[in-house]
Amino acid sequence: MPRERLSVVVTRRLPEAVETRLSELFDIKLRDDDTPMTRAELAEAVKSADILIPTVTDTIDARLLAQAGDKLKLIANYGAGVDHIDVATARQRGVLVSNTPGVLTDDTADMTMALILAVTRRIPEGLAVMQSGDWQGWAPTALMGGRVGGRRLGILGMGRIGQAVARRAAAFGMQIHYHNRKRLRPEIEEALEATYWDSLDQMVARMDVISINCPATPSTFHLMNARRLKLLKPTAVIVNTARGDVIDENALTRMLRAGEIAGAGLDVYEHGTDINPRLRELKNVVLLPHMGSATLEGRIEMGEKVIINIKTFEDGHRPPDQVVPSML
């Protein structure tokens, strides 16, 4: 007798190839439009589904999990970060959580380098001149930026993405420095030609560019706070493709406006889409709409990881990408 298919609810539109494969394998409920579920819709989903596939835009907290029915057994997150999921509460309720680590490493590192170049070479300002039709021709002093070769890059968080950023930056001739919760093994450090700083304060005070590549945890909230931002050189640039709340956004905005920091490239924001309006006004800031992982290849690979996690769970085994509270 054929086994009854798992009931799976997807909270957002996914690439067509991923949705098609999910539909072939499971009793799937797909999202009709590409908008986040309301709180009421999420509550209904956790009551009715065996498996929930949420994204970073869904807050799966203790209050929502308290409404889950007995059916819910796995939250197969479509994404690597799980700071929007109360993993500890899920575990207490017997609900496993999985994610999709590793597949977005190169995409996010590429975007980090794109932001470093965009800010230091003033690319958006050049685009604006061309799009407005105001370009009067080449001039020796027009839109002068800075050379990235030879600059000191301080990477905050030297995991998969941080190391991928280091490899790319080294190819541009940048000097690689890093601060991490744990120092890398000597052979990795040597391969990356990276200098470790035990003191984050000492590192940020000496860097030309800071790249934020650490996860969002209670210990990294406002890790770049007003006090630490003031340690940056006035000529320094800060780039964030990790999580918005690692930086105190209001403090960063004030310092950029005052010329105390030369520029910033941001793909993530402390309050999601509610961005400080003064930040939008600054010419020395490049703002992107959370595009770091936005490649078709990466999004399909994320879907494949989700499917593998669900299928492994369905077969009675631990999902290969299970997240446990001790990992956070």
Q: What is the pLDDT of residues 271-328, one digit of tens each?
A: 989 999 999 999 999 999 999 999 999 999 999 999 999 999 999 999 999 998 765 4
pLDDT of residue 1: 43
Q: Cα–Cα distance between 112 and 267 in angstroms, integer?
A: 9
53 in Cβ contact with 10 (< 8 Å): yes
Pairing between strand 96-98 and 322-323?
antiparallel
168 in Cβ contact with 190 (< 8 Å): no
Q: What size, in residues, is the chain?
A: 328
Pairing between strand 96-98 and 7-10?
unpaired
pLDDT of residue 2: 54
pLDDT of residue 5: 86
Band (pLDDT 50/70/90 cuts) for residue 216 is confident
Closest CA to 156 of 191, 200, 109: 200
pLDDT of residue 325: 74
> Domain residue spans in the chain?
7-103+295-327, 105-287
CATH number among 3.40.190.10, 3.40.50.10210, 3.30.230.10, 3.40.50.720, domain 7-103+295-327 = 3.40.50.720
Q: Which amino acid is at 147?
A: R
Closest CA to 153 of 138, 171, 130: 171
Tokens of 184: 């890398």
Tokens of 305: 């990881």
Q: Which amino acid is at 134?
A: D
Residue 275 backbone phi and psi in degrees, to 5: -90, 140
Band (pLDDT 50/70/90 cuts) for residue 3 is low
Pairing between strand 152-156 and 209-212?
parallel
H or E segment at 121? Answer: none
Whether the predicted pLDDT of 192 surpasses 50:
yes
Band (pLDDT 50/70/90 cuts) for residue 69 is confident
Q: Name, in order, each residue with C-beta under 8 angstroms of 126's C-beta and a sequence gap of 6 or more.
A: 143
Q: Cα–Cα distance between 178 and 184 in angstroms, integer?
A: 10
Domains 7-103+295-327 and 105-287 share a fold: yes
Burial of 281 (0-12, 13-18, 19+ CB in 10 A): exposed
pLDDT of residue 52: 98
Band (pLDDT 50/70/90 cuts) for residue 81 is confident
303 in Cβ contact with 17 (< 8 Å): yes
Q: Cα–Cα distance between 208 and 199 in angstroms, integer?
A: 17
Residue 205 backbone phi and psi in degrees, to 5: -70, -15
Band (pLDDT 50/70/90 cuts) for residue 84 is very high
Name the 3-class secondary structure at 229. Answer: helix
pLDDT tens sequence across 90-107: 999 999 999 999 999 999
Domain 105-287, CATH: 3.40.50.720
231 pairs with which residues across the strands? none
DSSP letter, residue 303 = H
Q: Cα–Cα distance between 14 and 302 in angstroms, integer?
A: 10
Q: Cα–Cα distance between 78 and 101 in angstroms, integer?
A: 10
3-state helix, strand, coil in the chain (%, to 5): 40, 15, 45
